Amino acid sequence: MAFTIKFDENLEHIVLEASVEMSLESSKAMIDAEVDMLQKFPNASILYDQTNSNADGISSEDIWKISEYSTQLGALLEGKKLAVVLQDDLSFGLGRMWKSFTEAKVSFEIQIFHDRADAEKWIVE
């Protein structure tokens, strides 16, 4: 998979940076990596930076399936935040669709951003 995941000690959150064309399979792999990291750093929120990837291969049905798969983050992120940074309009629109499908099923806050600095500011507030 073309993504990195690490714990940012300065901001005290998990950062996942994707550099792959998004697909259902790559999204599930990233969620699995987030679950593993949350088990190591249970007080962390997540910043998911997808500015170096695109969602050209994702369908609305895939977004629904990714949303369902995302619910496993629920208990691990309860009361925390998940910020997603997306650049292009298609990715941003699909991100907002994922947010609307997911936020009713989980107990953490989700926000979608165009700018990483804005996402970092929100996640530490």
Question: Cα–Cα distance between 43 and 4 in angstroms, integer?
Answer: 20
pTM for this predicted structure: 0.93
* 92 contacts 55 by C-beta, under 8 angstroms: no
Quick one: fold of 3-124?
Answer: Transcription Regulator spoIIAA (3.30.750)
Question: Cα–Cα distance between 14 and 6 in angstroms, integer?
Answer: 6
Query: Tell me: the pLDDT tens digits for 65-80?
Result: 999 999 999 999 999 9
Q: Which residues contact 12 (CB under 8 A, 6 or more apart)?
A: 43, 44, 124
Query: Tell me: the pLDDT tens digits for 36-75?
Result: 999 999 999 999 999 998 888 899 999 999 999 999 999 9
Query: Tell me: the pLDDT tens digits for 85-122?
Result: 998 898 999 999 999 999 999 999 999 999 999 999 99
